[in-house]
Amino acid sequence: MSLRSRESDGASERLIHSYTKSFNAFAAMLSDSEAKMLSDLDEVVSVFKNKQNQHHTTRSWNFLGFPLAAPRAALESDVIVGMLDTGIWPESKNFDDAGFGPRPPSGRARVSSITTSLATTAGHVLPNTSLSGLAEGTLRGGVPSARLAVYKVCWDNEGCSDADLLAAFDDAIADGVDIISISIGSSIPSDYFSDSIAIGSFHAVKNGILVSSSAGNSGPGDSTVANFAPWLLTVAASTIDRKFVAQVKLGNGQSYQGMAINLDGDNNVRYPLVYGGNVPNKTAGFDGSSSRFCGDGTLDGKLSKGKVIICDSLSDGSGPQHAGAVGAVMKTSGANDFAFGFKLPASVLGTNDSAKVLNYANKTSHPTASLSKSEGVLDGAAPYIVSFSSRGPNPITPNVLKPDLAAPGVDILAAWSPISTEFSGSLNIISGTSMACPHASGSAAYVKSFNPTWSPAAIKSALITTADIMSPTKNRQAEFAYGRVRRVTGDSSSCTSENNGTVFDLNYPTFTLSATQGKTFSAAYHRTVTNVGISNSTYHASVGSPAGLKINVDPQVLSFSKLLEKKSFVVNIEGETSETILSATLLWSDGLHHVRSPIVVHTSV
């Protein structure tokens, strides 16, 4: 409004984006006073500064119980997934459109055939694929015949701006995509009126488009979750039953297994082993207190050349590489539950094993070590939430559970742009909620292909209420990062997003209560479900809850006589706890279908 009135002052030159296709907004260069004037207008919902957001950077589909031979709907090739990301390398074999029919009906998306998250969602089937022998198998997306519409919103050294994100949402909604997948988010929580992803996704959901988003890589602290608006599907990252390890073999015959993605290495070739703290680059002014961390430029090149360096911290390996080292043994005090690729052969060891390697190096006159090429080994504890995955509770709306579910996001093989400055090749193995999100997006597209009339909330409900429960042994934060997505073609209940007044009455498939530690609490949740299973069916409610929680469901039996029939029930929760989190489950079952809703009471916000 102010821009139009000031065209003579060059206002049109300050206009960056005008959003007119799917919602009414604009991005422009404004002074503080102009922004304040706009925000004071009754017809303006919000005005906020254009901030930069971050990108949340094979076997995984089989691990989800989603084999290549899974039943496919005839409409799968009509499902369009809109990807808001860093772009696409269309020449990748993962995007070969051989065998595809004509495009969907006119007016539905400018379809093109990041490449990693795109390939994970809807990549072409490529048998006998690996990265230098690692992760060998069939590379594919979850819905290989689905269509992709790609919107580039992230740029080298510039991040992913709010203005560009809103422009992509505006276009994708107008293009008629069915699902939007976005592995981007802000590291600082914002209220919904100044959060570009919350705003864009709200308009998408309003137009019948489910938006799947990454939870962020800022874990494992509480309330680190990104993309927590209630209408988003927020996806945490979990492991699969394969991990990549590299062996460190010492001259005394002792061997230690660490995490790493080494495409080169030889366990039979030993090199001199030296501690980084003993080879400081004194010429550049560094001493052992600095060089022990192996930072770039801190190591003496003459003393490091041709050796394996022991480092007291985790890095990308550029410090040892630039000093002429042939390998590195790095220490981490963290969970060490996912693998990195490094600038040179390396292995990441925990505190205890790192101490043993250092002790050998210090007490041996001519210590040596070898580093192996990585190999894939079975991780029997999977799935569990990886340490970097952001956790709840929801920092803005604590009575809405976030993340919604978890999906594979650790050590995922996928297509890669060969012109990337990070790694040169057509494939790469990476980790992040940016990889978990497209797994959920592919699952949502799969459900959509069988149920084209389902609303975003219905698809979201189907995914959440059929998610597998992960073992609490390695998932101590329970529902703040719980529930593994799995293949689903139908569900016995679905929720709409009708809001009857309070957050407790939001027809959400989960139940969450923020309580005060040591004080009594109570809440009543009203829910309505729709029968989409068998016409004549009866569901019985059962509750599993820990001490400190009293949960009552009324009624405890729901009987349906036809499809799409709706029934309502109330869940009453009361109790008192000194714990930071209590996790329970409401299960509706007709003996064949099992619909699980998590119940969480937390005191950590």
Which residue's structure tokens are 């519409």? 149
pLDDT tens track for 158-196? 789 999 999 999 999 999 999 999 999 988 899 999 999
DSSP string, 433-491: HHHHHHHHHHHHHHHHHH-TT--HHHHHHHHHHTPBPPPTTS-TTGGGG--B----S--
pLDDT: which is higher, 257 or 112: 257
Cα–Cα separations (whole angstroms), residue 89 to 28, 150, 177, 467, 568: 31, 11, 20, 32, 48
Q: How far apart are CA 291 and CA 11, in angstroms?
A: 54
Phi, psi of 306 (to 5 degrees): 75, 15
pLDDT tens track for 528-579? 999 988 899 999 999 998 888 999 999 999 999 999 999 999 999 999 888 8
DSSP SS3 for 35 = helix
Q: Per-residue pLDDT averaged across 512-516, rounded?
A: 92
Q: Are 372 and 250 in contact (CB under 8 A)?
A: no
**Buried (b) or exposed (e) across 57-89, using 16+ Cβ within 10 A?**
bbbbbbbbebeeeeebbeebbbbbbbbbbbbbb
Q: Are 180 and 84 in contact (CB under 8 A)?
A: yes
Phi, psi of 560 (to 5 degrees): -115, 140
Q: How far apart are CA 142 and CA 124, in angstroms?
A: 9
Which residue's structure tokens are 């042939």? 326
Q: Per-residue pLDDT averaged across 219-238, rounded?
A: 94
What pLDDT sits at residue 486? 44
Domains in the chain, start-ordered, CATH in brackets? 4-47 (no CATH), 52-239+379-490 (3.40.50.200), 242-378 (3.50.30.30), 492-605 (2.60.40.2310)
pLDDT tens track for 10-27? 567 889 999 999 999 999
Phi, psi of 94 (to 5 degrees): -65, -20
Q: What is the model's pTM?
A: 0.82
Q: Are 150 and 118 in contact (CB under 8 A)?
A: yes
